[in-house]
Amino acid sequence: MTQGASAGAAISLRQTLSSSKWLGQVCPRCGNIIAEGSQVVLCPKCYTPQHAQCWRDAGNACANDGTTARIIERPGRPGAAGAAGDTPAAPGTSDPGVAAPTSPAPRAPTPSMDTAAAAVDPAGAAQATRTATAGGTPGRPAPPRPVPGAAGAGRGAAGGTTRPAGGRPPAGPQEQEARGLRPKADVRRRLEGALGDLDPQFGVSVDEVTCTVPPEHIAEAARRAKLHQELRFDYLRCLSGVDYQAEGIEVVYHLFSTRLLHKCVLKARISGEGESLPSVTGVWAGANWHERETAEMFNIRFDGHPHLEPLLLEKDDQGRTVPGPILLKRFRLRPKEPPGIFGFPEEE
């Protein structure tokens, strides 16, 4: 690609997402609305968003004020993600105020960036200079924003569905086989054979099969995982808790078989803190301390554990842990985020 004239400034390619601030603004060079999935750049001086191709066509310069900068081209990179937590620009507040619109008509959102760049209105492209300001021209009706796939308000449906594709790589990590161990399909077949009547739901965690069972069945599932001759999961690698807030607290058991050399993940989800699920210390003695730690950090209980006392946290005179459980997500260390796919509670 051609490099910019100036040696100094360099700007990144940005992918337009449904959460991008510049979604729906008008590119000052071609006059088209910036749709989701298109690649844009932001001018380093006036921050006007414009299509990356329009930037290059203008000689690597901003169509607004002429600032030159070169685009950082990284081969194989899908494009920098938009800033987190963006709220979509409210219509009209940051409307650049199309000066001489020849085609302000909204276009249907096009998922591929090539289509967006190619759909340049030739008449609009002739309008090289615009008096677009951040404040917008009062009284000018705002062009309607193209509505992304999911209906307006949400970040996607509750329940953790993937976001609209919009030119990004597929959501979900790439799958691969575990090195040196049995392939996933084989492990899954064995798990289905052994745990089929316990209502398992299968998934994949990059290089291992995950099997989610209802919490009341987890002890039986663990027992079968260890003793069933096709599974022989005699080694508990790890036992963790994950707080999914409104969707419950999940206990994740990472298993390994020293005999058959394969691995898998068992998961069980309970509805929230204060709940309990059966302990697996009868199956793997090494689960003892793992469960103690998970119980104290997430404020859950493991029924049947021989000695469910706090392990890492301090206890007060009544035996309660001081401070309260710390790994629950509501004990926040991060700034406020809008309600998302996990149904984060509203911050006060």
Partner 1 sequence: MAIDISDPSIDTLAPTESQIVEERNLETVEMTINMGPQHPSTHGVFRMVLALAGERVQQVEPFIGYLHRGAEKLGEAGDVEGYRKAVIWLDRTDYLSVWPNEHCYMLCLEKLAGLQVPERAEYIRVILSELGRINSHAMFYGAFGADAGATTPFMYAFALREELYSLFEAVGGQRMFPNYFRPGGLREDVPADFVARVGHVVDTGYRACDEFDRLLSGNEIFLARTQGIGVVSAERAIDLGLSGPVLRAAGMPLDVRRVEPYSLYDRFDFDVPVGTRGDCYERYLIRLQEIRQSLGIVEQAIRDLPAGPIMGNAPKALRPPKGDAYQRIENARGDFGVYIVSDGRSAAPYRVKYRSPCFVNLQGLNDMVVGAYVADAVLALGSIDIVLGEVDR
The footprint of partner 1 (CB under 8 A) covers 74-77, 80-81, 84, 155, 160, 162-163, 169-174, 176, 178-181, 205-208, 234-238, 240, 242-243, 252, 254, 258, 261, 263, 265, 284-290, 311-314, 326-327, 331, 333-335, 337, 340-342
89 versus 311: smaller Cβ distance to partner 1: 311
| Helix H or strand E encompassing 113 | helix 113-118
Q: How far apart are CA 19 and CA 155, in angstroms?
A: 8
In the complex, what is the shortest distance from the CB of residue 25 to partner 1, in angstroms, rounded to a whole number? 22
Burial of 126 (0-12, 13-18, 19+ CB in 10 A): exposed
What type of residue sits at position 222? A
SS3 of 23-71: the string is CCCECCCCCCECCCCCEEEECCCCCCEEEHHHHHHCCCECCCCCCECEE
The residues with which 2 forms a beta bridge, in sequence order, are none
**Residue given tokens 């999914």 in the structure block:** 244
Asked whether the beta carbons of 130 and 98 are under 8 A apart, the reply is: yes
In the complex, what is the shortest distance from the CB of residue 241 to partner 1, in angstroms, rounded to a whole number? 8
In the complex, what is the shortest distance from the CB of residue 65 to partner 1, in angstroms, rounded to a whole number? 27
136 versus 338: smaller Cβ distance to partner 1: 338
Rg (alpha carbons) of the chain, rounded to whole number: 27
In the complex, what is the shortest distance from the CB of residue 169 to partner 1, in angstroms, rounded to a whole number? 8
202 versus 235: smaller Cβ distance to partner 1: 235
In the complex, what is the shortest distance from the CB of residue 202 to partner 1, in angstroms, rounded to a whole number? 14
Q: How far apart are CA 82 and CA 18, in angstroms?
A: 9
In the complex, what is the shortest distance from the CB of residue 139 to partner 1, in angstroms, rounded to a whole number? 37
CA neighbor of 29 nearest in space, from 100, 122, 125: 125
Q: Which residues contact 13 (CB under 8 A, 6 or more apart)?
A: 39, 40, 41, 52, 71, 72, 73, 77, 79, 80
126 versus 157: smaller Cβ distance to partner 1: 157
In the complex, what is the shortest distance from the CB of residue 179 to partner 1, in angstroms, rounded to a whole number? 5
Other C-beta atoms within 10 Å of 233: how many? 29
In the complex, what is the shortest distance from the CB of residue 70 to partner 1, in angstroms, rounded to a whole number? 17
CA neighbor of 171 nearest in space, from 13, 17, 346, 311: 17
84 versus 151: smaller Cβ distance to partner 1: 84
140 versus 163: smaller Cβ distance to partner 1: 163
65 versus 347: smaller Cβ distance to partner 1: 347
CA neighbor of 24 nearest in space, from 84, 68, 87: 87
In the complex, what is the shortest distance from the CB of residue 205 to partner 1, in angstroms, rounded to a whole number? 5
127 versus 212: smaller Cβ distance to partner 1: 212
105 versus 238: smaller Cβ distance to partner 1: 238
